[in-house]
C-alpha cells in the first residue's frame, strides 16, 4: 500500500516538474528569437509612422560625407520597404573632415538647404520597369530632424525626424484636380550604423 502511494506521489512530482519546465523552455526560446532576429534589429535602427501606419524599413543606409572643396559635411539616410522609401540629409557648412556631427541642433526644411527630405513610392515607368519616384515635395517648415547622440568610435548615430510631403495634381489643361498628402511622422533612428568618407575615399 505504501509503495503504491509512494509511486503515485513520485509520478505526480514528475508531472509537476514537466509542467514547470515546458513554459520555461518556451519563454527561453522566445527570448532567444527576439535577441537573434535580424528583422528585429533592423526594425529598431530606423522607423516612422507613414499616414498612420508603422513603418520599419528592411533596407537602411546611412553615411556622413565631407566635401573638402565646399567644406560641407552631410549626414544622409535612406530606408525602404513595402514599396515606400524615405530619404533625408542634413548639411553643415564650414565643417571639418571628421566623422562627428552636431548634436541637439534642430534642422528645419527651409531656403538654406541644411535639411532635405523626400518620400518615394515604387511606380512603373513607361519602359515597364518599377522605380522609386518622388511623391510630392516637402515645403518650407514642413520637416525637422535632430541628432540626439553620436558615437564616433562605434560609428552609430541616434535622432528623430518628421516631415509632410505634398503633391498637387493637375489635369491636361493645368487645372487643379486633387492634392495628396503623405505624413511621415514620429521618425526615429536608434544607434543607426553609418559610414564616413570624403571625395578622396
Q: What percent of the chain has pLDDT over 90?
A: 64
Exposed e or buried b per residue across 42-76, where buried means at least 16 C-beta atoms within 10 angstroms of its C-beta = bbebbbbebeeeebbbeebbbebbbeeeeebbbbb
Q: What is the pTM of this model?
A: 0.74
List, for residues 80-122, the tens digit of each pLDDT value: 998 999 999 999 999 999 999 999 999 999 999 999 999 999 9
Q: What are phi and psi of 153, to 5 degrees?
A: -85, -50
List, for residues 153-181, the tens digit of each pLDDT value: 999 999 999 999 999 888 888 888 888 89
Domain boundaries, the chain: 1-36, 44-198
Amino acid at each position: 500500500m505504501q509503495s503504491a502511494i509512494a509511486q503515485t506521489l513520485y509520478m505526480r512530482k514528475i508531472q509537476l516538474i514537466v509542467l514547470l519546465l515546458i513554459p520555461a523552455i518556451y519563454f527561453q526560446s522566445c527570448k532567444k528569437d527576439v535577441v537573434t532576429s535580424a528583422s528585429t534589429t533592423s526594425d529598431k535602427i530606423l522607423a516612422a509612422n507613414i499616414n498612420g501606419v508603422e513603418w520599419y524599413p528592411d533596407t537602411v543606409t546611412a553615411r556622413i560625407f565631407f566635401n573638402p572643396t565646399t567644406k560641407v559635411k552631410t549626414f544622409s539616410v535612406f530606408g525602404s520597404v513595402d514599396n515606400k522609401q524615405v530619404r533625408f540629409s542634413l548639411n553643415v557648412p564650414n565643417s571639418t573632415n571628421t566623422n562627428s556631427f552636431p548634436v541637439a541642433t534642430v534642422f528645419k526644411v527651409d531656403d538654406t538647404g541644411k535639411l532635405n527630405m523626400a518620400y518615394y513610392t515604387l511606380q512603373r515607368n513607361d519602359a515597364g520597369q518599377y522605380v522609386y519616384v518622388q511623391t510630392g515635395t516637402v515645403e518650407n517648415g514642413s520637416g525637422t530632424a535632430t541628432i540626439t547622440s553620436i558615437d564616433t568610435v562605434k560609428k552609430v548615430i541616434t535622432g528623430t525626424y518628421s516631415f509632410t510631403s505634398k503633391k498637387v495634381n493637375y489635369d491636361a489643361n493645368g487645372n487643379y484636380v486633387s492634392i495628396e498628402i503623405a505624413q511621415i511622422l514620429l521618425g526615429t533612428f536608434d544607434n543607426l550604423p553609418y559610414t564616413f568618407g570624403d571625395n578622396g575615399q
